[in-house]
Amino acid sequence: MKLWKTILTAAALALAAGTSAFAARTDLVIGVTLEPPHLDPTAGAAAAIDEVLYANVFEGLTRIGPNGEVLPDLAETWTISDDGKVYTFKLHTGVKFHDGTDFNADDVKFSLDRARAEDSVNAQKGLFAAIDTVEVVDPATLKITLKNPQGSFLYNMGWGDAVIVAPETADTNKEKPIGTGPFKFQNWAKGSSITLVKSDTYWGAPVSLDKAEFRIVPDAAAAVPALLSGDVQAFPFFPDLDSVAQVQGDPRFKVVIGSTEGETILSINSKKPPFDKLQVRQAISFALDRKAIIDGASAGLGVPIGSHMSPASKAYVDLTGLYPHNVDKARELLKEAGFENGFKATLKLPPPPYARLGGEIIASQLRDVGIELEIVPVEWAQWLDQVFTKKDYDLTIVSHTEPNDIDIYSRKDYYFNYDNPAFDKIIAGLNLTSDEAKRMTLLGEAQKILADDAVVGFLYELPKAGVWDAKLEGLWENAPIQANDLTKVKWTD
């Protein structure tokens, strides 16, 4: 065996001769699971777009840092008026777009006005809802007036959907993105990879990579071989959590388990009988064994949650003790609700492994309390259509990865079909409050209400496992937003 391997490897080396270089590497192949539908972050919701372009090709006024903090970007500094309504941004000068044109305040005004226009195709128009006017003071100064104070405004301006684009190239960014970032777009081999190269005209601190290729590896099974064979050197979002343990022991790789903003929940259609009964929903919560779910669906890497808030958040309140795994209690509650003999329902599962695997486990756990679930796997297209839009479902599993999104429970017509005026009031108050302490209290109350109502089955915070070559440094450990910021990435050789 061993001998064979030696011989064959020698043969391989002979074949591969001439391909290796000894100087420190300046190229990187990053594995991503999903291919972006197009390359314009201001015109699509897909996280895959940001994963390639955010901070690399496109930049905003502000940006989100590795731990979710707001950092200055194209805006060098800013001042906020006392009433919290007027923001004055001082922009960097000497910034050029990749097509050679200059960047100035007009571009910012254009970008923001375009994003909040009536016919805008921006996927997150809500980010700009508070803006009243955008004024160009001079080419390096911009004044934004809000309709009312908004605590999260600077954070909002750091989203990928709020990056600055040039008016000349705005319409062609989907195919050929032109931004101000340290990397410029080179090539998109559809279905295969997207290549970025270093921009020579970058205004900021120079990056150390010359070339970055985002290789699309849609099949989780292919991730490990791709990594082991050296084809791909980094998977910031490693799709195959079960194999993490095995890669962990390998000195060639670094494994980083970080947090995300993904609250993974068992969504319940709470208007549809029997789920309109509180006892039924609570019974489901008691029936769930979160540890088993995390072990089975996320390789034991997730953190259990008791409400819709990331444990990493300052506002987090630990409510996991509210519904401990208790089959007897669950059966009792079902009996109270009139379902002594249980009932049947469907569980629609979108494609990600956390949903498909978690679904199997949950089906098995609910069977223990008498609820028979029929598992219906659906593609994202069907999920959006049937579950999200038409609300034609009983139960589903999905991870809500947007940061600070507890307000979704107050949205009218959201697919949970949840309606609680008390909760809506808290959210409304939250929007008008910029005082940090007050906000924390309100957020705590909101979490408590959701947990008490057992609106959905709160499962766990989706883990992020990053796996990359041990010689590589500078990649994000956590995922406050879904992005692969390459500005600080370098090889240490």
Partner 1 sequence: MTLHIDISEENLAGILAKAFRNRSFLAGFVITALVAAVALISFFWTPFDVTRLIIADKTQGPSLTHWFGTDHFGRDILSMIMVGARNSIAVALVAVGIGMGVGVPLGAFAAARGGIVDEAVMRLNDLVFAFPALLSAIMITAIFGPGALNAIIAIGIFNIPVFARVARAGALAIWPREFILAARAAGKGRTLITLEHVLPNIVTLLLVQGTIQFALGILAEAGLSYVGLGTQPPMPSWGRMLFDAQTRMVAAPWMALFPGMAIAVTVLGLNLLGDGIADILDPRSRRQR
Partner 2 sequence: MTAYLLKRLAIALATLALASMVVFAVLEIIPGDPARLMLGLNASAEQVELLRNQMGLDAPLAARYLRWAGGLLSLDFGRSYTYSVPVIDLVRERVVVSLPLALIALALSTVIAIPVGLFSASRRGRAGDTIAMGAAQLGVAVPNFWFALMLIYLFAVWLRLVPAGGFPGWSAGVWPALKSLLLPAVALALPQAAILARVTRSALIEVLHEDYIRTARAKGLPYRAVLWRHALRNAMIPVLTILGLQFAFLLAGTIIIENIFYLPGLGRLVFQAITQRDLIVVESVVMLLVAAVIAVNLLVDLSYAVVDPRLRSRQ
**Binding-site ranges for partner 1 (CB under 8 A):** 219-221, 223-224, 228, 240, 242-243, 245-246, 291-292, 295-296, 351, 353, 357, 359-361, 363-364, 367, 375-379, 382
Q: Which lies closer to partner 1 via its Cβ, residue 240 or residue 261?
A: 240
Q: Which partner from the list partner 2, partner 1, none does 230 bind, CB cut-off 5 to 8 Å by kind?
A: partner 2
The tokens describing 447, both together, are 């979490």
388 binds, among partner 1, partner 2, none (CB under 5 to 8 A by kind): partner 2
- The option from partner 2, partner 1, none interacting with 404 (CB < 5 to 8 A, set by class) reads none
- 226 is in the binding site of which of partner 1, partner 2, none (Cβ under 5 to 8 A by kind)? partner 2
Site residues, partner 2 (CB under 8 A): 5, 8-9, 11-12, 15, 35, 37-38, 44-46, 121, 123-126, 174-175, 189-193, 215-219, 221-222, 224-226, 228-232, 351, 379-382, 384-386, 388-389
Nearest residue (CB) to partner 2, 81 versus 187 = 187
CB of 50 to partner 1, least distance (A): 25
CB of 231 to partner 2, least distance (A): 5
CB of 411 to partner 2, least distance (A): 10
Burial 28-47 (b: 16+ CB within 10 A, else e): bbbbbbbbbeebbbbbbeeb
- Least distance (Å) from partner 1 to the CB of residue 291? 8
Q: Which is nearer to partner 1, 273 or 351 (CB)?
A: 351
Residue 39 or 287: the one with the smaller Cβ distance to partner 2 is: 39
Torsion (CA) 368, 371, 265, 234 in degrees, nearest 10: 60
In the complex, least distance from residue 86 CB atom to partner 2, rounded to whole angstroms: 28
Taking the least distance from each CB to partner 1, the nearer of 43 and 293 is 293
For partner 1, the closer of residues 117 and 375 by Cβ is: 375
Residue 70 partner contact from partner 2, partner 1, none using kind-dependent CB cut-offs of 5 to 8 Å? none
CB 372, min distance to partner 1, A: 11
Report whether 122 contacts 43 (CB < 8 A): yes
**Measured distance CA(94)–CA(75) in Å, rounded:** 12
CB closer to partner 1, 250 vs 435? 250
The smaller minimum CB distance to partner 1, of residues 296 and 429, is found at 296
Query: Minimum distance between the CB of residue 37 and partner 2, rounded to whole angstroms?
Result: 4
Nearest to 333 by CA among 342, 324, 344, 321: 342
